Structure 1
Amino acid sequence: MLRGYLGFLALVWAGIGLVLLVMPEALEGYAGVRAESGVAKAELRAMYGGLSLAVAMATSMALIRACWQFPVVFMHAVLCVGLAGGRLSGLFLDDAGSPYTYGALSFEVGSALISILLLRKVQPAQET
């Protein structure tokens, strides 16, 4: 189950990262986020494209090296709790409900819960 979950996460994050690194304007279509300058596009490429690809790379390392599994599952738990918290804040403070918001929130809450549950089963690597 752990390897399947990590593989799924690596694919999801890589897909998001590749699309938004190449086409940051895609965010406007489904999330209403518009880049109106080159600097804004570069920021979207970095924070949505580059960061998502970095998460995908770290997750892929956990598929290759067992010692990465605990830190990567922990990273996903923390990352998804933070994303879900921010999204819930926007939902209540800004009335930002949309199909995109609910879909992303479902992924984030689901991933956070699965990651937290898996942390109980994954052994941290031994310190040297």
Structure 2
Amino acid sequence: MRFFLGYLALAWLAIGTWLMLDPAALDVSAGVAATSTDGLIELRAMYGGMELAIGLSALWALWRPRWTCHVLFLNGVITGGIGAGRLIGAVLAGSASVYTLSALSFELSAAALCWVFAKRLRSGDQSSG
């Protein structure tokens, strides 16, 4: 479970830092571009700040193991929500790019693993991951 939390921390902190510093990178990878200063601030907030916060929550659980179940719940809800929104968006659009499928794979698998690990933790089996 600690390995998985470390993976979540690294993944979210890396992408959050990158997009906080260079939100224009989303234009190249996902076709998302700011058309105003407010748009640039919004990209930094939602793609930088939010992802940094998610990553910091996983890092927190590594330092404070008693928070692990809460952090798994938080990560599961957030990644599940983002993944569900992305899946619905792809279905409504009738197509999905490699970017979309890659992000969807990460989000749905992370959400599922958060659920599995949280359930094991709640039942007392902490030997996994």
- TM-score normalized by structure 1? 0.92
Counting only pairs closer than 5 Å after superposition, residues 61-100 of structure 1 correspond to structure 2 as 61-100=60-99
The residue type equivalent to 1:72 in the other structure is V
Q: Match of 2:30? A: 31
Q: Match of 2:127? A: none
Number of aligned residues: 123
Q: Which moved more, 1:91-100 or 1:41-50?
A: 91-100
> How big is each residue's C-alpha offset from its partner over 1:47-93, in whole Å with a ceiling of 9 and x where there is no partner?
11001111111110100011110000011111111011100111011
Q: Match of 2:47? A: 48
Gaps of 5+ in 1: none
Q: Match of 2:102? A: 103
- TM-score normalized by structure 2? 0.91
Distance 1:96-1:37 versus aligned 2 partners, 3 A rule? farther
Aligned-pair identity in percent equals: 41
Once residues 43 and 80 of structure 1 are traced to their aligned partners in structure 2, the CA distance between those partners, rounded to angstroms, is: 19
Local SS of the residue matching 2:120: coil
Once residues 26 and 122 of structure 1 are traced to their aligned partners in structure 2, the CA distance between those partners, rounded to angstroms, is: 38
Large movers: runs of 4+ above 6 Å: none
Gaps of 5+ in 2: 124-129
Local SS of the residue matching 1:84: helix
Once residues 59 and 99 of structure 2 are traced to their aligned partners in structure 1, the CA distance between those partners, rounded to angstroms, is: 26
